Amino acid sequence: MTTVGVRPLIRETANDDDAQDSGTYSASRAHELYHHADHGVDNLWSIGGGKWTTGRATAEEMVDELLKNELKMVRSRPFDSRSSAAGGAFAWAEDAEPFITEAAMAMNEHGIPVHLGEHIARLYGTEWVRIDAIVQQNPEFARQLSPQCNDIEAQIVFAVTEEGARTLSDIVDRRLVIGTIGSVSREVLERVASLAGPLLGWDELAIQDAIRHEFDRRTVIATHWRTPVGGSSQ
């Protein structure tokens, strides 16, 4: 299960205004499993709702349903994962700081500054080794993306090649940290696009179009939705 900053909430009212007024923070985190065979699409399920802290239980329910349906002819055996660490976690209910320090020091041996390595270890858990491997293949990818954030260029490569990112917004807002802490400059978008574009098969025209589209989109959001300092949003 991957959290990408988007809350997959289930709307419990048919009235859009009521749904908006209730707010996402107080909304129910109940979840539902959807079998798309009901709509003529075989071998496809979706999970709606839920949250990170109930992810293991949701996954158990999902696997049980698969074993009753598409996988009912597959041999299986019981497995209790209630005390197993989540994907990317280094251990179960232990202090994370020793792990983070050790990972950061290991990354530092390959040119990633310690404070950036700590940032990566906190974000990716045991998957930090995959970010580190990208830097080992191309040391230039250890460069910090912006002074305002500890993201590095290798994370952009990882976002596209391993995490399924397909747009600049996917990368900046839902794979990296930089899009969640304030405005993102055109310069940063250009750096992201210059790395992601070739991996996505974009030519130079497509890269420039993506930069322009994303910068314009963020400008509109900042203009119309930003809460004034000391005031309330309109």
Give pTM, 2 decimals: 0.76
**Residue pair 86/116 in contact by the 8 Å Cβ criterion:** no
Same domain for 113 and 29 = no
CA quadruple 88, 174, 139, 117: dihedral, nearest 10: -50
Q: Which range marks the domain in which residue 78 is found?
A: 1-84
Same domain for 117 and 50 = no
Tell me which residue of 166, 136, 167, 142 sits closest to 155, measured CA to CA. Answer: 142
Same domain for 207 and 117 = yes
With respect to residue 8, please indicate whether it lies within any of the assigned structural domains: yes
* Number of domains the chain is built from: 2
With respect to residue 92, please indicate whether it lies within any of the assigned structural domains: no
pLDDT by residue (tens digit) across 199-226? Answer: 999 999 999 999 999 999 999 988 887 6
Residue 28 confidence class, pLDDT cut points 50, 70, 90: low
pLDDT by residue (tens digit) across 74-109? Answer: 998 888 888 777 788 888 778 999 999 999 999 999
pLDDT of residue 86: 78
CA quadruple 93, 97, 98, 102: dihedral, nearest 10: 120
Pick the last residue of a domain from 38, 62, 84: 84
Residue 52 confidence class, pLDDT cut points 50, 70, 90: confident
**Residue pair 89/122 in contact by the 8 Å Cβ criterion:** no
Between CA 138 and CA 132 the distance in angstroms is 10
With respect to residue 234, please indicate whether it lies within any of the assigned structural domains: no
With respect to residue 90, please indicate whether it lies within any of the assigned structural domains: no
With respect to residue 143, please indicate whether it lies within any of the assigned structural domains: yes
With respect to residue 77, please indicate whether it lies within any of the assigned structural domains: yes
Same domain for 170 and 195 = yes
